[in-house]
């Protein structure tokens, strides 16, 4: 029998919302501060998945300038009704301290590839919104309620309110339909109707190693909801870190033949419970018991291999991981920080055959960084590029970056030094603290190109450079970059490691750098 091999979406792909429309399966995942907003993957067999489209491609749909690290898009929900695709998403504007500014929006499209509409504002009462289409034609929004008051449970329950298609807004009373189970931290609600019951699937236990998926049901949409006596229906076996960890935040799909599956997030630690790839997406097979509860096949721990549905194999030809920048459009795997690709800072046409990056703000900026990157999706990877750059001042830098967020990244960069001239060195920012890892930067020949390489093996990173393309020199010691993970921060965060190209010009001259290619190889 064909197997689903987990994770089906390796690397940073959290909070999956799975949907079937006829013979097509889609998964939407969170993108946080990375642009474009919301990745949608496509499959026809649930074994092979392809990055298909991004619905939020315009600043009018998603303006994240100034958004905090791990803000932006949280937990999208993809659904389909009345010939329309509906996408619900949160744009998180603040998240530290007592308050969370969590603005929830709706966009629609007749075609999954767009064009997607301008957003309709819904509410800001909490995060993880999803839309339930009842069989009487009514539509209902659910989201967790955030209670900022002293001495309360911040995860205050699940809000339910009707959405009016005609009025394009939420209408009627707001009901708190579920206060959660004893696991606590109740979030990520999804409603389903099956066999006469409304089922409320939630995430509980927090999105770390205690994460879980829990179920409750009611014969009335408004409750009361009876908690599954065997909860959690899915959680990880923390005694075996070789297995998928952090399992939770699930959503359900029914196949054409009536089989059921759950997509959920998970993590794979490499060292000290640190998941450098971020939270990933896996799929489990589930079934309904005679007494009407949902169970995961093989028990409530996630499996690495799962029986696939009996559907025709549908493999994809994936985009090349080698980009020579000769096209005039960007490969789908490229993302930018907080802002769209616009010619004022990035171009494939200004110098044909090269990616031009104009120096922007520093690696610490929450606003306008000139950074383009792709997800790290394997524990053993080699990344290589060739750069042409002639900086005039130490305030101008460009090169190859391994990036988590503004507090944690490692950067092999070309810059200018008053005595060395053009030179190459390594910057590491760890827990927000800046450091330069070489005793002395390496002087480079003026006016020539340089090749840069990063080799990643689990938590270890080794940089190298070449002046002729044949002879490579390691630069600096091997670096433990496991601080580039959700799990190595004072305050919880949610993304994953990216590898990419960036340029800074703190003098304000927007000095251009030119990249000949970008080669990403999984070893």
CA–CA distances in Å: residue 222 to residues 55, 134, 163, 199, 261: 32, 13, 15, 11, 26
Question: Among positive and negative, which fits the CA dihedral 375, 377, 380, 386?
Answer: negative
**Residue 486, preceding peptide bond in cis (omega within 30° of 0):** no
Determine contact, residues 180/157, Cβ cutoff 8 Å: yes
CA distance 394 to 506: 9
From the list 45, 128, 187, 428, the catalytic residue is: 187
In what order do the strands lie in the sheet containing 101-109? 72-81, 84-94, 101-109, 120-123
Active site residue 486: no
Half-sphere exposure (Cβ direction) of 456: Cα atoms closer than 13 Å: 27
CA–CA distances in Å: residue 492 to residues 69, 96, 164, 364, 470: 10, 9, 35, 18, 43
Strands, E, within 255-369: which ranges?
260-267, 280-288, 294-296, 305-307, 322-323, 335-337, 346-347, 355-358
Complete DSSP assignment for 38-103: -EEEEESSSSS-EEEE-SB-STTT---TTPPTT-EEEEEEEEEETTEEEEEEEEEEE-SSS--EEE
CA–CA distances in Å: residue 258 to residues 20, 225, 255, 287: 12, 25, 5, 10
* Residue 14 structure tokens: 């959290």
Q: Which helix (H) or strand (E) holds 27?
A: strand 24-29
Active site residue 343: no
The distance of Cα 479 from the centroid of its chain, to the nearest Å, equals 25
Determine contact, residues 188/232, Cβ cutoff 8 Å: no
The residue written with tokens 């009025």 in the block is: 167
From the list 15, 405, 428, 486, the catalytic residue is: 15
CA–CA distances in Å: residue 162 to residues 91, 107, 137, 176: 21, 16, 11, 13
**C-beta neighbour count of 50 within 10 angstroms:** 15
Name the residues annotated as catalytic. 15, 187
């Amino acid at each position: 029998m064909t197997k689903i091999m987990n994770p089906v979406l390796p690397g940073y792909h959290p909070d999956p919302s799975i949907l079937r429309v006829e013979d097509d399966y889609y998964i939407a995942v969170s993108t946080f501060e990375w642009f474009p907003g919301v990745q949608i993957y496509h499959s026809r067999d649930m074994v092979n998945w392809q990055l298909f489209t991004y619905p939020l491609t315009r600043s009018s749909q998603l303006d994240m300038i100034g958004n905090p690290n791990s803000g932006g898009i949280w937990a999208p929900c993809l659904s389909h009704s009345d010939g329309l695709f509906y996408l619900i998403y949160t744009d998180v504007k603040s998240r530290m301290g007592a308050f969370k500014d969590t603005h929830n929006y709706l966009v629609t499209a007749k075609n999954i590839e767009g064009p997607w509409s301008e957003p309709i504002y819904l509410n800001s009462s909490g995060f993880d919104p999803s839309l339930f289409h009842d069989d009487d034609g009514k539509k209902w929004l659910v989201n967790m309620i955030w209670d900022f008051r002293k001495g309360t449970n911040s995860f205050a329950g699940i809000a339910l309110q009707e959405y009016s298609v005609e009025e394009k807004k939420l209408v009627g009373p707001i009901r708190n339909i579920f206060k959660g189970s004893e696991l606590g931290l109740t979030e990520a609600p999804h409603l389903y109707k099956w066999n006469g019951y409304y089922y409320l699937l939630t995430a509980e236990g927090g999105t770390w190693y205690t994460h879980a998926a829990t179920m409750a049901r009611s014969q009335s949409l408004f409750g009361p909801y009876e908690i599954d006596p065997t909860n959690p229906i899915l959680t990880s076996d923390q005694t075996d870190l070789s297995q998928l960890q952090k399992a939770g935040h699930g959503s359900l799909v029914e196949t054409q033949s009536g089989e059921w599956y759950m997509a959920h997030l998970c993590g794979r630690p490499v060292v000290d419970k640190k998941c450098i790839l971020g939270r990933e997406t896996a799929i489990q097979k589930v079934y309904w018991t005679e007494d009407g509860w949902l169970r995961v096949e093989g028990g409530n721990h996630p499996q690495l291999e799962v029986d696939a549905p009996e559907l025709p194999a549908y493999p994809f030809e994936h985009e090349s991981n080698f980009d020579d920048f000769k096209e005039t459009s960007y490969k789908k795997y490229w993302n930018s920080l907080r802002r769209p690709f616009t010619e004022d800072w990035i171009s494939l046409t200004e110098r044909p055959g090269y990616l031009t990056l104009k120096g922007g703000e520093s690696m610490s900026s929450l606003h306008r960084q000139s950074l383009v990157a792709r997800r790290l999706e394997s524990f053993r990877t080699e990344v290589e590029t060739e750069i042409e750059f002639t900086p005039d001042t130490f305030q101008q830098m460009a090169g190859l970056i391994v990036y988590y967020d503004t507090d944690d990244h490692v950067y092999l960069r070309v810059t200018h030094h008053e005595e060395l001239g053009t030179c190459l060195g390594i910057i590491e920012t760890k827990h927000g603290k800046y450091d330069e890892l070489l005793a002395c930067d390496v002087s480079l020949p003026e006016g020539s190109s340089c090749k840069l390489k990063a080799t990643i093996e689990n938590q270890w990173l080794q940089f190298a450079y070449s002046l002729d393309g044949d002879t490579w020199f390691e630069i600096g010691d091997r670096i433990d970059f496991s601080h580039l993970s959700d799990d190595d921060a004072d305050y919880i965060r949610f993304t994953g490691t990216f590898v990419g190209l960036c340029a800074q010009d703190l003098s304000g001259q927007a000095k251009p750098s030119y990249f000949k290619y970008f080669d990403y190889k999984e070893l």
